[in-house]
Amino acid sequence: MEPGNDTRISEFLLLGLSKEPELQPLIFGLFLSMYLITVLGNLLIILAVSSDSHLHTPMYFFLSNLSFVDICFTSTTIPKMLVNIQTDNNVITYEGCIIQMYFSMLFAGLDDFLLIVMAYDRFVAICHPLHYTVIMNPRLCGLLVLMSWMMSSLHSLLHNLMVLCLTFCTDLEIPHFFCELNQVVRFACSDTFPNEMAMYFAAGMLGGGSLTGILYSYSKIASTICRIPSTQGKYKAFSTCTSHLSVVSLFYCTVLGVYLSTAVTHSTHSSAVASVMYVVVTPMLNPFIYSLRNKDIKRALKRIIGMVII
């Protein structure tokens, strides 16, 4: 890297979660284990849905898409982090950082959009059960997923194009384990006001808008469940939503935790540690949440595991 604010920089340094050499093997083993569990768990969900004809429904179609996105999300950040620890080299090229930033935002946005699509699916299933198969037809399901990809791609592309317009100082040590948008923008020497406004606007529109849509859907679902006369009917209707509610709560609580911890402590290290929750822990737990409380998924998984053993 050459000195000077207007110099075209060529690389960043990702400092990771800790600078202590004795902690690196522990961090490597922990993150490798979580990554493998995440990939294996979500792959099993995809295999279960695709191999069992009873699971060829809109709800499980969206779930398999969510599992695919979770695999891609963790794969944009964790393998590079593991390589950095193993080689004791924290360098990431400028182009590599931009690519990593694009795909991490793309898949995080897709998580957000798919969760609201799944909430809409539950809303139609419970509030309009007689019209469910007509409304949630394969064409609409495919269109909803396609629109999610398109909107998330445009959102990620916009932020990346704005970052490409920035110039960076020579001090490019990012106290994080991947190129997160907030951290990269902080090290720019040029005016970052447009980038910050775009980030706040996107957070309000995507995060706030999606959460509002999910809460609205579940307010209608709760109202419909309350009107069901039998206790067994109420429990059956509510049980179809518990897994999705758990995933929604985990996703939004961890994301809010990251930004609140940053705002309160102003510590970049705290932000990096908190980011582990939504980048690694949430995608790892999603398959367990859906499989442990879902008889259909458990049956399909048992059949797949039995075939593997045979």
Residue 261's pLDDT band, with cuts at 50, 70 and 90, is low
Report pLDDT digits (tens) over 41-70.
999 999 999 988 889 999 999 999 999 999
Residue 138 within a domain: yes
Residue 309's pLDDT band, with cuts at 50, 70 and 90, is low
Report pLDDT digits (tens) over 67-121.
999 999 999 999 999 999 999 889 999 999 999 999 999 999 999 999 999 999 9
Q: Judge contact between 244 and 227, C-beta under 8 A.
A: no
What CATH number should be reported for the domain holding residue 23? 1.20.1070.10
Residue 144 within a domain: yes
pLDDT at 13 over 60: yes
Pick the closest to residue 48 from 303, 248, 245 (CA basis): 303
**What is the C-alpha separation between 147 and 145, in angstroms, rounded?**
5
Report pLDDT digits (tens) over 268-295.
666 777 788 888 999 999 998 888 767 8
Q: Judge contact between 13 and 174, C-beta under 8 A.
A: yes
Contacts 24+ apart (CB under 8 A), 184-187: 184/12, 184/97, 184/101
Residue 74 within a domain: yes
More confident call, 19 vs 285 = 285
pTM of full prediction above 0.75: yes
Residue 6 within a domain: no
Residue 1 within a domain: no
Task: Give the pLDDT score at 5.
Answer: 43
* Number of compact structural domains in the chain: 1
Residue 5 within a domain: no
pLDDT at 253 over 90: no
Report pLDDT digits (tens) over 294-308.
788 888 888 887 776
Report pLDDT digits (tens) over 149-200.
999 999 999 999 999 999 887 768 888 899 989 889 888 888 899 998 998 8
Eight-class DSSP state of 278: I
Task: Give the pLDDT score at 39.
Answer: 96
More confident call, 22 vs 9 = 22
Report pLDDT digits (tens) over 217-249.
999 999 999 988 888 888 888 888 888 888 888
Residue 294 within a domain: yes
Question: Domain residues for 193?
Answer: 11-309
Task: Give the pLDDT score at 187.
Answer: 84
Task: Give the pLDDT score at 30.
Answer: 95
**Strand, helix or coil for residue 229:** coil
> In Å, what is the CA distance from 226 to each residue of 122, 195, 232, 248?
15, 45, 12, 22
Task: Give the pLDDT score at 189.
Answer: 87
